[in-house]
Structure 1
Amino acid sequence: MPRAQANGLELEYDTFGDPARPPVVLVMGLGAQMITWEEGFCELVASRGFFVVRFDNRDAGLSTWLDELGEPAIPDIVAGTAEPPYRLSDFADDTVGLFDALGFAKAHVVGASMGGMIVQQLAIDHPGRLLSVTSIMSTTGDPSVGQISPAALATLTGAPATTREAAIEQSIANYRVTGSPGYPATEEFLRHKATRGYDRARHPVGMQRQAAAVAASGDRTERLRAVAVPAVVVHGDADPMIDVSGGKATAAAIPDAELVVFPGMGHDLPEPLWPDIVDAIVRATARSA
């Protein structure tokens, strides 16, 4: 797959659809690789008349790992007594750097989980580069909304497995905690997903630095009130990782944002909901100038 030089980094990416069509850039979440955007989902978006790009964020997948920055002291960063290795604004700058590398003057952006936070930051920092924003299963940074359940928190704070087999089993167990109770994934799918992710790239300390960026970037609510880009907010009512209150707060903060809440959806993108999620994305793109 190709790599783009962006913001001093190399970002691994791939594409779907006709490059002559309007671009839709997909931004993934905490520790997640671009392959978490399943090929079938990307192809479905492309089939609606778009050129789709998915990519690995910094410190994830096959993009640049910033191990020289060390392991973050997250409690100190939360307390404000230490600086994070980077912030969400740096992810936003990376994404604009990808736009530049691919020749996009403007693009539609779709972010999931931490990726939703990144596209919110894009709308704050680089509004002139965006055509529309879709924020999926994300939140505003306000600690009073979007809380994580104890079980989901345990999936993030447990010690990383030390062997391939154990890491795959750990991933499967975590997916069962955070996935959609209304759309349970099969054992075969979860094992394939966990194995593919492990064998492509595994970088737990990079996820810690990404988590530090989220913790250090604060509440975006007031800045989101100035966003003028067409926006849609998608969330599940059974999300244990980021409570649906985070999505509701995001939609309330962004002027004229559409809120779509799916019953039974957790912190994943279940295939039966792909057509409805893509419809929501397309509605946001249709409102762009």
Structure 2
Amino acid sequence: MPQLTANGISLEYDTFGDPGRPALLLVMGLGAQMTLWDEEFCQLLADKGFHVIRFDNRDIGLSQALDDLPVDAPAVLAGDGSSAPYKLSDMAADAAALLTELGIDRAHVVGASMGGMIVQELLIRHADRLLSACSIMSTTGDPAVGHSTPEAMAALQAPAPQTAEEAGEASVKAAKAIGSPGFPLDEDKARARGIAAFERSRRPMGFLRQFAAIIASGDRTEGLRTVKVPTLVIHGEGDPLLNVSGGKATAAAIPDSRLLIIPGMGHDLPPGAWPEIVDAIADNAARAV
């Protein structure tokens, strides 16, 4: 897969579909590699007429590790982001710079979880680069919304696996803890996904720095009130990691946004929901024309 330097950071990316079609940038969540955007999901978007781009955020996957930037791990895990070496706004600047380096003036953007937070930062700080936006299973940063169950938070903060086998089992356990109760879980696929991610890259400290960035970035609600870009907010009704109040608050803050709540969906992108999600993204993108 290709790499390029954007905003001073080396970023790994790949693409699907016709480069002559409108660009759609996918932004993944906390500690998650771009491969969590399933290739079949990416192809469904490409089949809707988009040139789909997915990438590894800074500090994760095959993008540049920032191990020279210290972070206070115990403090971060206790909810203190004061040692964060960067914020979500810096990660949004990476995404905007990636578009620039690819020769793309404006793009549709879709973000999941922390990726939705980064998309919100793009809406606030780089609106001129966006055609449309979609924030999936995310929240505004307001501490009053988007709460986690204790079980979901424990899954998020579980010790990093030390072997591929442990990674596979951890992936299954996490899927059971934060996944979609209304959709079937393919344990074999979840296990294989965990093993593949472990073998591709291991960045436990990158996860901590990204977690610190989320905590340190604060509440985006007032900034979101200024958004004029056509925006879609998607959230699972059964999300235990960032409960549905986070999505509702995001939609309430963004003028003329659309809210899609999917029954039975948790904090993942279950294949059974892909057609509805892809259609909603395409419909929202059409508002930009």
What TM-score comes out, normalization by structure 2 length? 0.96
Q: Please state if 1:29 is matched with 2:29.
A: yes
**Alignment correspondent of 1:60:** 60
Distance 1:74 1:108, change over 3 A: farther
CA distance in 1, matches of 2:4, 2:74: 30
Paired residues of 2:30 and 2:114 also in contact (CA < 8 A): yes
Is 1:263 the counterpart of 2:238? The answer is no
In structure 2, the residue matched to 1:186 is 186
Residues 1-289 of structure 1 aligned to structure 2 (within 5 Å): 1-73=1-73, 75=75, 78-79=79-80, 82-289=82-289
Q: Deviations over 1:184-211 (max 9, x none)?
A: 2212111111111111112111001000
Matched residue of 2:266: which SS? coil
Query: Deviation digits for residues 208-267 of structure 1, max 9, x if unmatched?
Result: 100000000000001100000000000000001100000000000000000000000001
Give the secondary structure class of the aligned counterpart of 1:25. strand
Is this contact kept in 2: 1:74–1:212, CA < 8 A? no
Please say if residues 27 and 109 of structure 2, whose CA atoms lie closer than 8 Å, have aligned partners that are also in contact.
yes
Question: Which stretch shifts more, 67-76 or 211-220?
Answer: 67-76
Asked if the contact 1:60/1:203 (under 8 Å) is kept, the reply is: yes
How far 1:79 moved relative to its partner? 4.9
Please give the secondary structure, in 1, of the residue aligned with 2:30: coil
Residue 159 of structure 1: CA displacement? 2.2
TM-score normalised over the length of structure 1: 0.96
Deviation at 1:73, TM superposition (A): 4.5
CA contact (8 A) 2:71 2:83 kept: no
For the Cα contact (< 8 Å) 1:78–1:216, is it kept in 2?
no
Calculate percent identity across the aligned residue pairs: 56
Aligned length: 288
Tell me the secondary structure at the aligned position of residue 11 of structure 1.
strand
1:196 and 1:183 map into 2 onto residues whose CA distance is: 23
Structure 1, unaligned stretches of length 5 or more? Answer: none
Give the superposed CA RMSD.
Answer: 1.4
User: Is contact 2:71–2:84 with CA below 8 Å preserved after alignment?
Assistant: no
